[in-house]
Chain A
Amino acid sequence: MFRPFADWLADTPLSKTLQDHAWVVPTSQSIHILAVSIVFGSACMVNLRLLGVGRSGRSISQLSNTVVPWMWRGLAALLFTGLVQTIAEPVRQFVTPMFWAKMAMILLVATLTALYATAVRRNAALWDAASSRPWPARIFAVLSTLLWLAIIVCGRFIGYTWSFYA
């Protein structure tokens, strides 16, 4: 269904320009990985703290308020570099179920993160004490970690599986 669109996109002048410069995709992918580091590293720090693993430095609310804005910045960089890679190689992305699964999971985890960050900002004291922390905290932590891991797997495997579908 998306194949005609991908073929059309691959034929546009913008896509052709990106394809003509061999450095564009590797450079974009490198920046993409750096942004994954920021987002996934931040997510793991928050999630591990919510699960009670690791040394306690800052409070949950301090940590979240510091780290979550960096996750949004990282996500913006991911969307931009991801867009560059998609315009340069549209067929590779659109034919692979891995790509669509990845997009769906990103939407889900971004929504969950926004809900979590809002809840912590509204009621820091409640979230900071382990005794009063709302019960969804642990579910969010597990779900968010699993989603980010699955997103990384899908991202890497787009490159290894797309030729089966093209």
Chain B
Amino acid sequence: MTIAELLAAVEAWPISAAMRGEQPGTEWLFPIIETLHVMALTLVVGSIAMMDLRLLGVASRNSAVSRLSNEVLPWTWTAWAVAAVFGTLMFMAKAQTYAGNLQFRLKFVCMGLAALNMLIFHFGAYRQVVRWDEGEPPMSAKTAGALSLLLWIGVVFFGRWVGFTT
């Protein structure tokens, strides 16, 4: 089965048809799922921004980086999982269209790079967090914070743009 065939098959599923509002009583399903996706994604971006701004030394300077991380990141992951589930449902409605959409692809490029950036930070600068936990993060941590902020802004922009280009 090629990817094109897989996407076509996904679109043919009853749940995908329901997401397109093609089944009785499902006319409002897409807007409702989209609203839940927006609620979850704002929590993802809001919590990540809090972490990034701390790394950049802009906000929450009275809070240790590791403490803020423990406080915030469980919510980030939970909200991300929720956003991913609802996002997948939205994707299924028009899988072929979204897969071929430039903004949609760029959104996932940004998210992939954000994940890579997070891994590099976690296994790099963050391993010595005890040395700078209460104070000024090193340049590598600041860079990770700035990159993360920019990439997530990209995710939101391209995500919003998908709705205008499909």
Contacts and interface: CB of A to CB of B under 8 A. Distances in A.
B26 interface: no
A36 B72 CA distance: 17
Contacts, number: 87
Given A37-B46, A41-B46, A57-B71, A152 B156 contact: no
A40 B35 contact: no
Contact of B160 (A33, A55, A149): A33
B90 interface: no
Contacts of B70: 55, 57
Interface stretch (A111-119, A131-139, A153-161): A153-161
A66 B60 contact: yes
Interface string A85-110: 00000000000000000000000000
A153 B46 CA distance: 18
Interface string B29-49: 001001100110111111101
Contact of A54 (B63, B71, B161): B71
Given A37-B45, A62-B62, A66-B59, A149 B156 contact: no
A153 B31 CA distance: 9
Contact of A34 (B39, B67, B153, B161): B153
B71 A55 contact: yes
A30 B70 CA distance: 29
A34 B63 contact: no
B10 interface: no
A26 B158 CA distance: 10
Contacts of B28: 160
Contacts of A29: 160
Contacts of A157: 31, 35
Interface string A34-62: 10111111101100000000111110001
Contact of A156 (B38, B71, B164): B38
Residue of B38, B41, B43 contacting most chain A CB atoms (<10 Å): B38
B7 interface: no
Contacts of A38: 46, 49
Nearest to B60: A66
A136 B31 CA distance: 34
Contacts of A149: 39
Interface of B: 28, 31, 34-35, 38-39, 41-47, 49-50, 59-60, 62-63, 67-68, 70-72, 74-75, 153, 156-157, 160-161, 164
Interface of A: 26-27, 29-30, 33-34, 36-42, 44-45, 54-58, 62, 66, 70, 149, 152-153, 156-157, 160
Given A41-B49, A45-B72, A55-B74, 13 more contacts: A29-B160, A33-B41, A37-B49, A45-B50, A45-B75, A55-B71, A58-B67, A58-B71, A62-B62, A70-B59, A152-B38, A152-B42, A157-B31
